[in-house]
Structure 1
Amino acid sequence: MSLTDFASPIWLMFALVVAALGVGYLLAQRRRQRHMLRFSNMELLERVAPRRPGPWRHVPVALILVGLLCFTIAAAGPTKAQKVPRNRATVVLVMDVSLSMEATDVKPSRLEVAEEAGKAFAEGLTPGINLGLVAFAGTASVLVSPTANREATKAAIDHLQLSERTATGEGIFTALQSIQTLGDVLGGAETPPPARIVLMSDGKQTVPDDKDESNPRHAFTAARAAKDKGIPISTISFGTSWGTVEIPDQDTGSTQRVPVPVDDPFLKKIAELSGGQFFTASSLEELTKVYDTLEEQIGYEMTRGDASRPWLILGIVATAAGLGAALLYRQRLP
């Protein structure tokens, strides 16, 4: 514990008074011994003086001094870090609904597992958070504007529809616009509520070309825009490296099996560019753990709270014990 952990550290100076009282008590004991030694006839002194008290006579004073020290610390206003639910924040869950989410490398399918975990994430967020939902494939759309109504988000997740292509950048830009709209509606506050985007995807961007980083709608451009707005993106790479889907061939009418491996480097860079965190998951259990971690990070914040109560209790107990011991041992207060 440092001086910065106290609301009024000036009160700690009173500890010098407590120390002075302790030193004064010791000096008084030494003075009493010197007065006793002035008797030249020690045999007479032993007959007229009561039995010399033992070391336990110091216990009452010691306890009272400890109590005073505890009261001193309590008066200084000690604080401690404590976790409290956020009462003002915005989260947008951005879910990939491209055809690769049909892959069954995660049973029963990537999409079904993502839906189950997404609903659990929505349910577990603290009530003070506004949660929105964006789905993206070749384009992106806001399915639920940020709201405290969890049922709306869970209902929308239940009705996700798959589509072709993957425009990750569009998903991020749409989420940013949704957050901005909520901030404009709320207004009034000096600063907008803290916000975060949670992006869950299973593959690389296909619209625009993943290698064309100069494109203004590229995911990396969107991640930098989020960074400029102070909105970190937590990315979740969901799936395995061996996932496949069957794509119908419009010319022949047959289907072909196409590999759809996850693209960890791509999603990791989005997180890094935005100042967020990168996670991986290849099962419902792992995805649930990731969402649990995000719920803890997003739903709560660390603040400094009052921690004087234990010191007050200890001071009361020690002082009361000291006074009680003095009455029992000496039949008087010290």
Structure 2
Amino acid sequence: MFTTASSWFLILLAAVPFVAWYVLRKRKTTSVAFSDTSGLQNLPKTWKQRLAWVPPALRIAAVVLLIVALARPQEGRKQTVSESEGIAIEMVVDRSGSMQAMDFEVEGQPVDRLTAVKDVAGKFITGGEALEGRFSDLIGLVTFARHADGISPPTLDHPFLVAQLNQSEIVDDRNEDGTAIGDAMGLAVEKLTALDNDRDDKVKSKVMILLTDGENNAGDVNPIQAAELAATLGVKIYTIGVGTQGQAPVPVVDPFTGRKEYRMMEVNIDEETLTKVAELTGGNYFRATDTASLAAIYEKIDELEKSRVEEKQYVDYREWAIEPVQVAGMKMPPLVLLALFALVAQVVLSHTMFRRLV
């Protein structure tokens, strides 16, 4: 960015042609009378004669440089400093066996519930479609089935977080299957409250987004107790019950043929508990019965939990008149110094090799 602080001084450049005319005009010089000078006209010019224009040109250049320096040309470098007051979000995702139910669609293709969650939650984190992304927020991930697993602590490395989410798989071992909602909530609360010990600046607000398609049937912590703890520690919980009403098609393998087939199974979501958990912490309960409604829920949460981001712009100006100038990758002296060099060179040359007899 280039500007001048006192542009009106540039008006003086209009007087430069008159200065040039005054400096370069022919002056009367001392002469010696000769009877005939025609023979002198064919003599070759010396290098001094050929370069006689240099001293006056230096004087004109000095005047131009001084006028430009008076206009105070400035090169500005803009710097933007972002200040954000972000939100810490812990995403708690169910990966129990019931998440295999094929009652969701992504791009027109039937998918299981976890795949739909990965698609929508990924857009919630990094942005996509109607979701802007949570670029200034710390986001962590906890997944659970019979046990709760802390996959990622709250982080600003969202590509890594989304990669970890996409690598999460539905459990296929009966010994690992179950729905430990309370344990997962307790782990998420622990990770969110630990942020105040790890950071000098406290997080504006702490939010948990709990997504499940079942009811608490494993683990040691009761979801209501975990919600009361969350409320005491200032963690707001949004709960999402995911799955169609009534029955949903679940893939099973026929033990005799080995073929995968779909059977309709009952959907049992403990909506009463999920609603109470949300109410205790000042959050909301949502029900997602398809991909569109799931996306709408994340859009709603995105609107409810906004981060404050402020940008301050600073401009660092370099004064060309008194600071070195960068031209075509070369560092040049300040304009005032260049004008001084030109003026000194003109005086020296005019009184030495280009000295003229008056």
Contact persistence 2:88–2:203 (CA under 8 A): no
CA separation of 1:104 and 1:302: change in aligned 2, threshold 3 A? same
Task: Tell me, yes or no, if the aligned pair for 1:86 and 1:299 is still in contact at 8 Å.
Answer: no
Aligned to 2:268: 261
Q: Secondary structure at the match of 1:243?
A: strand
Match of 1:149 in 2: 157
Distance 1:247 1:162 in 2: 14
Shift of 1:123: 1.0
State the alpha-carbon separation in 2 of the partners of residues 269 and 248 from structure 1: 37
Paired amino acid for 2:112 = S
Cα RMSD of the aligned pairs, angstroms, is: 3.0
Q: Deviations over 1:251-306 (max 9, x none)?
A: xx999864233332221121112221111111111111111111122233699xxx
2:196 paired residue number: 183
Quick one: structure 1 residues 279 and 86, their matched pair in 2 at CA, closer, same or farther if it must change by over 3 Å?
Answer: farther
Could you tell me which runs of 5 or more consecutive residues in structure 2 were left unpaired when the two chains were aligned.
1-82, 106-110, 128-132, 172-176, 311-358
Partner of 1:115: 118
Residue identity matched to 1:243? A
Answering whether residue 299 of structure 2 is matched by residue 289 of structure 1, we say no
1:169 maps to 182
CA deviations 1:7-58 (Å, max 9, x no partner) are xxxxxxxxxxxxxxxxxxxxxxxxxxxxxxxxxxxxxxxxxxxxxxxxxxxx
| SS of corresponding position for 1:120 | helix
- 8 Å CA contact 2:135, 2:156 repeated in 1: yes
Structure 1 residue runs without a partner (length 5+): 1-84, 209-215, 304-334
Which digits, 9 at most, give the CA deviation of each residue in 1:171-204, with x for residues without a partner?
1011111112222111x34x54310101111111
State the SS of the aligned residue for 2:123. Answer: helix
How many percent of aligned residue pairs carry the same amino acid?
26
The CA distance in 2 between the partners of 1:192 and 1:118, in whole Å, is: 22
Instruction: Tell me if structure 2 keeps the 8 A contact 1:140–1:171.
Output: yes
- Is the contact made by 2:241 and 2:286 (CA closer than 8 Å) also made in structure 1? yes
Q: Secondary structure at the match of 2:194?
A: helix
Shift of 1:127: 2.3
Correspondence 1:233 to 2:237: yes
Deviations 1:208-228 (A, max 9, x none): 5xxxxxxx6111110111011
2:211 maps to 200
The CA distance in 1 between the partners of 2:254 and 2:188, in whole Å, is 33
1: CA distance between counterparts of 2:95 and 2:181?
Answer: 10
Residues 267-286 of structure 1 correspond to what in structure 2 (within 5 A)? 267-286=274-293
Where does residue 337 of structure 2 map in the other structure?
none
In 2, are the aligned partners of 1:244 and 1:259 still within 8 Å (CA)?
no
Q: Following the alignment from structure 1 to structure 2, what is the Cα–Cα distance between the partners of residues 294 and 288?
A: 10
d(CA) in 2 for partners of 1:231, 1:197 = 7
Match for 2:142 among 118, 122, 134? 134
Question: How many corresponding residue pairs?
Answer: 211
CA contact (8 A) 1:87 1:127 kept: no
CA drift of 1:150 comes to: 1.0
Kept in 2: contact 1:89–1:129 (CA 8 A): yes
TM-score normalised by structure 2 residue count: 0.53
More helix by share: 1
Q: Output the CA distance in 2 between the equivalents of 1:151 and 1:136.
A: 21
Matched-pair contact (CA < 8 Å) for 2:86–2:308: no
Once the two structures are TM-superposed, the CA of residue 98 in structure 1 deviates from its matched residue by 0.6
Change (3 A) 1:249 1:138: farther
- After TM superposition, the structure 1 = structure 2 runs for residues 8-157 of structure 1, keeping only pairs within 5 Å, are 87-107=85-105, 108-124=111-127, 125-157=133-165
Tell me how far apart the structure 2 counterparts of residues 126 and 203 of structure 1 sit (CA, whole Å): 28
Checking the alignment, whether the CA contact within 8 Å between 2:214 and 2:269 is kept in structure 1 is: yes
Residue aligned with 1:92, SS: strand
Take 2:153 and 2:195, find their aligned partners in 1: how far apart are those partners? 8
State the SS of the aligned residue for 1:232. strand
Q: Give the residue type in structure 1 aligned to 2:187.
A: T
CA distance in 1, matches of 2:119, 2:277: 24
The answer on whether the counterparts of 1:226 and 1:274 sit within 8 Å (CA) in structure 2 is: yes
Partner of 1:55: none
More strand per residue: 1 or 2? 2
Q: Which is further off, 133-142 or 292-301?
A: 292-301
**Aligned equivalents of 2:188, 2:253: Cα separation in 1:** 31
| TM-score, length-scaled by structure 1 | 0.57
SS at 1:183 equivalent:
helix
AA paired with 2:221? R
Change (3 A) 1:248 1:184: farther
